[in-house]
Structure 1
Amino acid sequence: MSVSNKAKTVTINPAFLADVKDLHQELWDGLHALQEMCSLPISLEGKCFEFIGRLSDLRDKLAFQFSVEEAYGYFDDPAFCCPTFARRSNELLQQHRDLYMEIASIAERAEQLLSVRDLAALTTIIPIAFDRFADKLQKHESAETQLMHDGLMQDIGGGD
């Protein structure tokens, strides 16, 4: 399927989009599983390896998700739209790096704490840091969804 606009033609590969959608769901499932684990931090003591594995998996899935969004048109050619839309788009694009660096840092810190057997810090500091990260990621995703909605409404003249 191809979609044309004044700027260019975009070809959409349905199989690829299905894979991306599945990965996106896996990302959110992983985020929710980690949130659940963090809600009972004392239970993390017996699940440290699983917890750290899930953090690393989420980091990797997030890196892929962001690269797909950046490479396949979620933020392409903001110059062809209104300045407000372009500014919002660029702000969200910048957040990708910051969010990735934050989850990478949390995963790395968790691995360090486990390697020195500091389970007290692992079960207190990391869940707090992860909860803050999860909140930022959810706000970011909501803002992206709103941006896409606003862009669609602008494109088709919604609200008339």
Structure 2
Amino acid sequence: MTSDSTDLDRFQKIREEHRQLTSLLEQIDSALAERSGPINEVVDLLGQLGHQLTKHFQSEEAGGYFAEALYEAPRLFERANALMVQHPKMTKRSRMLAGAADPETEPDLWWEQTVERFAAFRAELREHEREEDRLIQEAFTRDIGSHD
């Protein structure tokens, strides 16, 4: 379907995006846990999360991240589609985290609410990424060589 070097480049790009996302998520976790820095700096980090997530999901969809896996294992199409349908919803939720900074909210309450919302979002994102990894692994471990 595609050349090995193209596939490798695509997967390396996705892996690098995962690394960048993980780093940003850790920065946000740390800032929220320590309640360090001004609220507007945390809001900026949350805004970066929305932008990075949009870019990451677009890369997965446009770059054919699932294409090779589905070529190898077409039976996984419904699962792949269900994961891609989550992308816009998760992007919207991540952007809502940044937009939830109401200047009228008392700071302690803002920190509490943001910690709670971010933890829920991060758990959802973690599960989503795990499901994507499982799908890719299943496609290539069970059906490897089926189209030789």
Sort the TM-score into its range (normalised by shorter chain): 0.7 to 0.9
> Per-residue deviation at 1:33?
1.5
Runs of 5+ unmatched residues, structure 2: none
Q: State the Cα RMSD in Å.
A: 2.7
Alignment partner, residue 119 of structure 2: 131
Q: Which has the higher contact order (CA 8 A, sep 6+)?
A: 2
Please tell me whether residue 107 in structure 1 is matched to residue 101 in structure 2: no
Alignment partner, residue 42 of structure 2: 51
Greater radius of gyration (CA): 1
Corresponding residue SS for 1:156: coil
Question: Residue 150 of structure 1 aligns to which amino acid in structure 2?
Answer: E
> Per-residue deviation at 1:32?
1.3
> Per-residue deviation at 1:17?
5.9
> Per-residue deviation at 1:122?
1.5
Q: Could you tell me which of 46, 65, 80 is aligned with 1:74?
A: 65
Alignment partner, residue 119 of structure 1: 107
Q: Could you tell me which of 37, 54, 72 is aligned with 1:63?
A: 54
Corresponding residue SS for 1:12: helix
CA distance in 2 between partners of 1:129 and 1:117 (Å): 15
Question: Residue 101 of structure 1 aligns to which amino acid in structure 2?
Answer: K
- Identity over the aligned pairs, expressed in percent? 23
Please tell me whether residue 95 in structure 1 is matched to residue 86 in structure 2: yes
CA distance in 2 between partners of 1:93 and 1:151 (Å): 16
- Compare 90-99 and 62-71 and name the one that shifted more: 90-99
Say whether the 8 Å CA contact 1:75–1:93 is kept in structure 2: no
Runs of 5+ unmatched residues, structure 1: none
CA distance in 2 between partners of 1:156 and 1:132 (Å): 36
Q: Normalising by structure 1, what TM-score?
A: 0.76
Corresponding residue SS for 2:119: helix
Alignment partner, residue 144 of structure 2: 156
Say whether the 8 Å CA contact 2:11–2:65 is kept in structure 1: no
Q: Normalising by structure 2, what TM-score?
A: 0.82
